[in-house]
């Protein structure tokens, strides 16, 4: 007689199941083993039987495995997905001083690049060409994060359409005219007849590439 294969449950999670799954993941990362059902229950302020029922559901969904007769053996499978593990989120493991070495500390924090540049206005990234802003530590090849903003203040670094050409400069109003100031002594300020600010710079992203030589 042919055996019927048990159908796996859909992997849609309830908020409580996601909380429990996250605590299993974090416990294994922090300690090398999973928390007990009672520890999870105490953290969430619910009963141990409720945790047990949710863990059983996670096992049926293929998101958690457990070894029989072994304590702290809950493991998250590769099928599990977490909202805090998006491609823009990087583990934040501590601090390091440029002047002297200090130990980095393992934490559960993350650096969310999207949240870092969060704004109520529309954002976009623009690649920089040229060296007119190097004294503001904006170099060729960098990406500037630009937001659409209804008001521009003196001293803001902006992407502007000046007399028909796009440029990245510091913005100043001077009487009845606008000065677009480079941050490089080799370049002169621009006093455009027509200027339209395309966006205000709120951040800079730089990617470093290895420079080691092959032998």
Active site residues: 132, 169
Q: Which domains does the chain have, with CATH numbers?
A: 15-82 (1.10.10.10), 86-116 (no CATH), 119-205 (2.10.109.10)
One digit per residue, the tens of pLDDT, for the chain of length 215 reads 444 444 555 568 888 999 999 999 988 888 888 999 999 999 999 999 999 999 999 999 999 999 887 888 899 998 888 876 666 666 655 555 555 555 555 555 667 776 677 666 777 888 899 999 999 999 998 989 888 887 899 999 999 999 989 999 999 999 889 999 999 999 999 999 999 998 899 889 888 765 444 44
**What is the number of other CB atoms lying within 10 angstroms of the CB of residue 170?**
19
For residue 63, give the nearest of 73, 53, 76 by alpha carbon: 76
The CA R_g of the chain, rounded to the nearest whole Å, is 26
């Amino acid at each position: 007689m042919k055996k019927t294969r048990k159908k796996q449950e859909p992997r849609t999670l309830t908020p409580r199941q996601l909380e429990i799954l996250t605590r299993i993941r974090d416990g294994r990362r922090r300690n090398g083993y999973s928390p007990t059902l009672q520890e999870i229950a105490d953290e969430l302020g619910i009963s141990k039987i409720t945790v047990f029922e949710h863990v059983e559901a996670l096992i049926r969904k293929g998101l958690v495995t457990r070894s029989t007769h072994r304590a702290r053996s809950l493991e998250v499978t590769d099928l599990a997905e977490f909202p805090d593990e998006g491609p823009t989120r990087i583990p934040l493991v501590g601090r390091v001083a440029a002047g002297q070495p200090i130990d980095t500390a393992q934490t559960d924090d993350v650096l969310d690049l999207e949240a870092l540049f969060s704004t109520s206005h529309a954002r976009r990234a623009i690649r920089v060409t040229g060296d007119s802003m190097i004294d503001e530590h904006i170099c060729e090849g960098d990406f500037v994060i630009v937001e659409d903003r209804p008001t521009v203040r003196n001293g803001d670094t902006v992407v502007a359409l000046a007399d028909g050409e796009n440029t990245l400069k510091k913005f100043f109003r001077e009487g009845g005219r606008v000065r677009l100031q480079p941050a490089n002594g080799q370049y002169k300020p621009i006093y455009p007849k027509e200027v339209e600010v395309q966006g205000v710079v709120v951040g800079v992203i730089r990617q470093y590439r290895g420079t080691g030589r092959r032998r």
